[in-house]
A and B are shown apart, each in its own frame.
Chain A
């Protein structure tokens, strides 16, 4: 049991070290090597444009359910018009970035691990190396940068749609006064909440891309290896997002105070 735990900790630390090395290489390459423009645009399209439906549906229904739940509790103490303020603050600083990141991790992180993993097991990554192209420059950097760009935009969309859906539920379904509802939302939702949310989104984007690419580039042989890499990419990036979110909340709260 003790030996098993020790091996698990060793593996975990080794993985963390390798991800850090990959991140260092990606940052070095991003500043020192020319980016393949068309490949980068393709990645932006795949990560950003193609993820919109998932992110919009998630954002809208989160805003709606949050508005309804908040109203049910606030109605008891006659604070109905503060409903959208809760939705606004929650969507901007926590739910918008975290739920968007979890959805993108499921869609994009898995796709990155599966695509790069398949390229690895079919020797396409080796072929790339024989053609004098560095796999980090060609495969990882465009994905990493595209996710960094796409994530804040997707999160902003999710926040806007979440607040709009919460407003619609509050006004149309729950019959809350629209003027006070909107006014209170603007009053209590600080611009710093938006800054914090978009900063988190950018960092989550980096986590999704680096874990997805690392799992793909280091996956085991065959279909089993690709499957395992894909699952691990989603699980590890989701857990990392939730853990990092807690520390980011504390840090950003202090910085933006």
Chain B
């Protein structure tokens, strides 16, 4: 369903991705891990056309979106939902206006239908009754939940998560993990999660991909990956800054 072939991306003289390839099947939940600043978020943004590659292809159901212009991409993006690292809620709008943004703009639904869909989405993320609040009145975890409600309210086929638990305490992180699993289960979506939170990676992914030195280093099930003896993988999973120091 999602296929990336030999993706290359540089910002100025700094190459971030150098020949990255991956494939995500329909209904699969894939987690991409890797070091901070390693290009995970840039890779994720390529999947939805927010960033254009220097070379390579991004295929969504066989259609190469790397060649589409901004207006053509709008049609493709309607199939996606995305949760941003900082939630990226529109701070001039209320929670209800944020969550119902796409449905209200499409003008295919009555105001009552939009309100009902917003209510259901907010219930799904366990934030009922927050419709009239402004994003500035919400905590970090609540903002992420509203961001998730906004991403799923129009029933997308693919949901992208950019660092969904970064900056949250372990309890709120756990609730976000559970929400992601619930969304996968109930809405039967394809998920791509970018994270460096290993607990999230283990819980929400059917498969984990590791981005290392600008390329895809490994692709395996969480079980195999967490028992891997590969020094690069072990270093990341164990969170060791210098492997030699760890052996001492």
A interface vs B, CB < 8 Å? 36, 119, 122-124, 126-134
Cross-chain contact of A133 among B49, B85, B86, B105 (Cβ < 8 A): B105
Across the interface, name the chain A residue whose C-beta is closest to B85: A123
Cross-chain contact of A129 among B50, B90, B105 (Cβ < 8 A): B50
Across the interface, name the chain B residue whose C-beta is closest to A128: B90
- In the complex the two chains form, what is the Cα distance from A119 to B74 in whole Å? 19
Contacts of A127 in B (CB 8 A): 82, 84, 88-90
Contacts of B70 in A (CB 8 A): 129, 134
The 4 tightest CB contacts between A and B, nearest first, are A127-B88, A123-B88, A130-B82, A132-B78
Contacts of A122 in B (CB 8 A): 86, 88, 91
Q: For the complex, is B59 an interface residue (Cβ under 8 Å from A)?
A: no
Q: A126-B45, A133-B101 are in contact. List 16 more A-B contacts (CB 8 A).
A: A36-B105, A123-B84, A123-B85, A124-B88, A127-B82, A127-B89, A128-B90, A129-B49, A129-B70, A130-B48, A130-B50, A131-B101, A132-B102, A133-B74, A133-B102, A134-B74
Across the interface, name the chain B residue whose C-beta is closest to A29: B71
Across the interface, name the chain A residue whose C-beta is closest to B79: A132
- In the complex the two chains form, what is the Cα distance from A36 to B88 in whole Å? 21
Contacts of A123 in B (CB 8 A): 84-86, 88
Contact B101 A126 (CB under 8 A): no
Tell me how far the C-beta of A168 lies from the nearest C-beta in chain B, rounded to whole angstroms: 41
Contacts of A134 in B (CB 8 A): 70-71, 74
Cross-chain contact of B77 among A36, A119, A124, A130 (Cβ < 8 A): A130
Tell me how far the C-beta of B162 lies from the nearest C-beta in chain A, rounded to whole angstroms: 9
Contacts of B48 in A (CB 8 A): 130
Tell me how far the C-beta of B90 lies from the nearest C-beta in chain A, rounded to whole angstroms: 6
Contacts of B81 in A (CB 8 A): 130
Contacts of A131 in B (CB 8 A): 77, 101-102, 105, 150
Across the interface, name the chain B residue whose C-beta is closest to A133: B105
The interface on chain B, measured as residues whose beta carbon lies within 8 A of the other chain's beta carbons, has a size of: 26
Contacts of A129 in B (CB 8 A): 49-50, 70, 73, 77
B interface vs A, CB < 8 Å? 45, 48-50, 70-71, 73-75, 77-78, 80-82, 84-86, 88-91, 101-102, 105, 150-151
- In the complex the two chains form, what is the Cα distance from A36 to B101 in whole Å? 12
Can you list 15 A-B contacts with CB-CB less than 8 angstroms, sorted by A residue number?
A36-B105, A122-B86, A123-B84, A123-B86, A127-B82, A127-B88, A127-B89, A127-B90, A129-B50, A129-B77, A130-B48, A131-B102, A131-B105, A132-B75, A132-B77
Across the interface, name the chain B residue whose C-beta is closest to A129: B50
Tell me how far the C-beta of A3 lies from the nearest C-beta in chain B, rounded to whole angstroms: 18
Contacts of B102 in A (CB 8 A): 131-133
Across the interface, name the chain B residue whose C-beta is closest to A127: B88
Contacts of A124 in B (CB 8 A): 88-91
Across the interface, name the chain A residue whose C-beta is closest to B91: A124
Tell me how far the C-beta of A70 lies from the nearest C-beta in chain B, rounded to whole angstroms: 46
Cross-chain contact of B80 among A119, A128, A130 (Cβ < 8 A): A130
Tell me how far the C-beta of B245 lies from the nearest C-beta in chain A, rounded to whole angstroms: 34
- In the complex the two chains form, what is the Cα distance from A127 to B85 in whole Å? 11
Tell me how far the C-beta of A137 lies from the nearest C-beta in chain B, rounded to whole angstroms: 9
Contacts of A132 in B (CB 8 A): 74-75, 77-78, 102
Residue among A36, A132, A133 with most chain B CB within 10 A: A132
Tell me how far the C-beta of A21 lies from the nearest C-beta in chain B, rounded to whole angstroms: 12
- In the complex the two chains form, what is the Cα distance from A129 to B105 in whole Å? 13
Contacts of B85 in A (CB 8 A): 123
Tell me how far the C-beta of A93 lies from the nearest C-beta in chain B, rounded to whole angstroms: 38
Tell me how far the C-beta of A8 lies from the nearest C-beta in chain B, rounded to whole angstroms: 19
- In the complex the two chains form, what is the Cα distance from A166 to B102 in whole Å? 52
